[in-house]
A and B are shown apart, each in its own frame.
Chain A
Amino acid sequence: MKVFVFSATIGNANPSVGATYAETSSVPDDAHGPNMTVLYLPEQAIRYRIDQGRQWSELVDNWQEMQLPQP
């Protein structure tokens, strides 16, 4: 899965996810601007939480260990 993470949160335990696509997607790495970090992760590396009455996507605690090679 191609995951766009807000770069400003990449140092957090659970970085915030801005967008996700299938690994085979043709979405370019700059599709969401320069402030995003592109990662390749399995689906289970993403979790949801409801905060302030809204759904948010973020990476799980050990997401670093789950990174996949860029296809």
Chain B
Amino acid sequence: MKYVQPYGIDDVNAPYINGDPSIGRMGSIPPAAAFEHPMRELVAVIENSQMPADEGDLEQVAKGVRSQRMNYVEDTGSVNALSVALDPPLTAYSIGLPLRVKVHATNTGAATIDAGAGSRAIKKPTGAAPAAGDLPAGGLVELVYDGTNFQMINFGGAGGGPGDAFYINIPYTVDSSVTRNLVTANFSPAITEIHAGSIIMVKMANTNNGPTNINVNGLGNKPIYALGAAALLPNDIVAGDVCLLCYDGTRWWTTPNTIILENVTINVANTTDLNSLFAALGRKRITPTAVVTIKLASGVYTPFITYHLNADRIVVEGTMLAALPVTTDFARTGNSSGARASDSANNIAMLRSRYGTEIQFNNAAVPIAGEMIIGHVGPGRITIKNVLVTGQNVYASAGAFFGAIGPAHGCNMLCDGVAVWGSGWNAFAVSQGNLDCIRCFASGNHGVGFMSYGGSRMSLYYSGSFGNAQDGCQAGVGAMLYLYNDTICQMNAWTGVFAWQGSTFLLKTTNTVTGNALFDLQSSDISAGSVNAGNVYSTASPAPNVVGNFSSLIRQF
């Protein structure tokens, strides 16, 4: 539409003037186009806004403009190739041109639109092509022409789809420390401040063997903690690892390496720390050539239960004040109640002068009913070493617990240099599992000194069972008991070594079983004992090499 000047005037921009008879001036004559053209423009706005022109409504242009109906179009194209037709048709795209398009078919990737002036790409505001599903069928997408493409103004508002990938460069450096348990991370350009949420990556130079600090560009040492735990365990960082660390305002956190590659010693001072350590060690595996020694400081501990998948490579070791006791250190004056009580008092004094780590328990403190006071569950034969286990020196009750120390039912344990005194029931015990004892001593207990039961196997080396209120050693119900080397079993209130109900015992080399109240050796009910030459005992039931006690035998070689 153009400006229509007054009729008969050549100047295309000539204004209209009013007539004034007082001065004899003729007014402008409006040509027909001056009325027709504006009306047709306005009617076009009304009708292209999909409204019927109505002579009774003089606000239709306002309503049409407000509806913005002229920029709404419905897609009739195909997948990824939208096509719309506007009225009046577009012959060119002007920058800033908005279109509101109802999508016909959900896109499967990059898409174009042809709005009458040719096909153009549809882009997200980031410049990326829409991902599959960003233009869902039936959805309204608002597009604005940017001079090259149509940009989606309402990306994510209707269809969704996966977000864009934004790549961030995390600061990275190589640890320059030559000291274990200290990480020196000098970044270039330098990190001048760290704050909660800071993230860095460091290629580690050393394998840690304990709690570890990191110093970032000289900003001061900060501790590194392992996710899910606390201070680092040994080998949580292995030389060559690239660790991602996140700062919480106090310390750096990282995902720990799962392997322990070398022999390590971890010190603990109390049972709480010990239990926490085993909980943390649960995330670690120990290589077949490594041993983890958990060193218990001198002090009094409460009972504990151990568990680890690689327990066969874990040693829980107490602290000695003096040399481990040997059999000759124990008082063994007789098997009467009075003699045993006197010997017991002397023996605990001797034991406490030797052992710095003592685990005390009372008869009511049974971690797992019917199980061990100090026990091990799970796979692997754990080693418990150089600890003194003491009870209340008061009889509990039959079966109050199974033993003061030993593996849980079906599990394995090695006791090395362990002494048990004053247990209210059995001292060392095993059921349906294996227990090996080296340099172990049971004295003054109110049950059996060494109990192998229910299909178990127990072996004793250089050990002793003295002055206990029941048998010194017992194998019951299909169990096996081996006394290998220089084990001494004396002054017990019942039998020295007893096998019953399908059980066996073996006295292999230079063991001594004497002075026990009932018999030194005894087998009954299809049980057998095998005694090599060189072992010492005085009494046996049945008599050696004679079948008795219901198909039982003690074979003396």
Contact = CB atoms under 8 A, between A and B. Distances in A.
A57 interface: yes
B519 interface: yes
Given A19-B548, A20-B549, A25-B546, A54 B476 contact: yes
Contact of A25 (B448, B501, B548): B548
B398 interface: yes
Nearest to A16: B518
A20 B542 CA distance: 7
B548 A27 contact: yes
B548 A55 contact: no
Interface in B492-506: 494, 498, 500-501
A50 to B, nearest CB: 9
Nearest to B495: A54
A19 B546 CA distance: 11
Contact of B541 (A18, A22, A26): A18
Interface in B379-417: 398-399
B498 to A, nearest CB: 8
B548 A54 contact: no
A51 to B, nearest CB: 8
B548 A20 contact: yes
B398 A21 contact: no
A52 interface: yes
A19 B543 contact: yes
Interface residues of A, number: 19
B525 interface: yes
Q: Which of B426, B474, B525, B546 has the most CB of A within 10 A?
A: B546
A18 B399 contact: no
A55 B500 contact: yes
A19 B399 contact: no
B363 to A, nearest CB: 15
Contacts of A25: 546-548
Contacts of B541: 4, 18-19, 32
A25 B476 CA distance: 26
B471 A54 contact: yes
B524 A54 contact: no
Contacts of B398: 51-53
Contacts of B474: 54
A53 B543 contact: no
Contact of A21 (B399, B524, B548): B548
Contacts of B447: 52-53
For chain B, which range describes its interface: under 10, 10 to 19, 20 to 34, or 35 or more residues? 20 to 34
B3 interface: no
Interface in A47-63: 48, 51-55, 57
B471 A20 contact: no
A33 interface: yes
Interface in A1-48: 4, 18-22, 25-27, 31-33, 48
A55 B524 contact: yes
B7 interface: no
Contacts of A19: 541-543, 548-549
Q: Which of B448, B494, B543, B547 has the most CB of A within 10 A?
A: B543
B459 interface: no
A66 to B, nearest CB: 17
Nearest to B425: A53
B16 interface: no
B399 A20 contact: no
A26 B543 CA distance: 11
A33 B518 CA distance: 11
A54 B546 contact: no
A27 B550 CA distance: 15
A55 B501 contact: yes
Given A19-B549, A25-B548, A52-B398, A32 B524 contact: no
Given A20-B549, A25-B548, A27-B548, A55 B476 contact: yes
A21 B550 CA distance: 8
B470 interface: yes
13 contacts: A20-B549, A20-B550, A21-B542, A21-B548, A26-B546, A32-B541, A32-B543, A53-B398, A54-B470, A54-B471, A54-B500, A55-B525, A57-B549
Q: Please name the 4 residue pairs, one residue from A and one from B, whose CB atoms are nearest each other, closest first.
A: A19-B541, A21-B548, A31-B543, A55-B500
Interface of A: 4, 18-22, 25-27, 31-33, 48, 51-55, 57
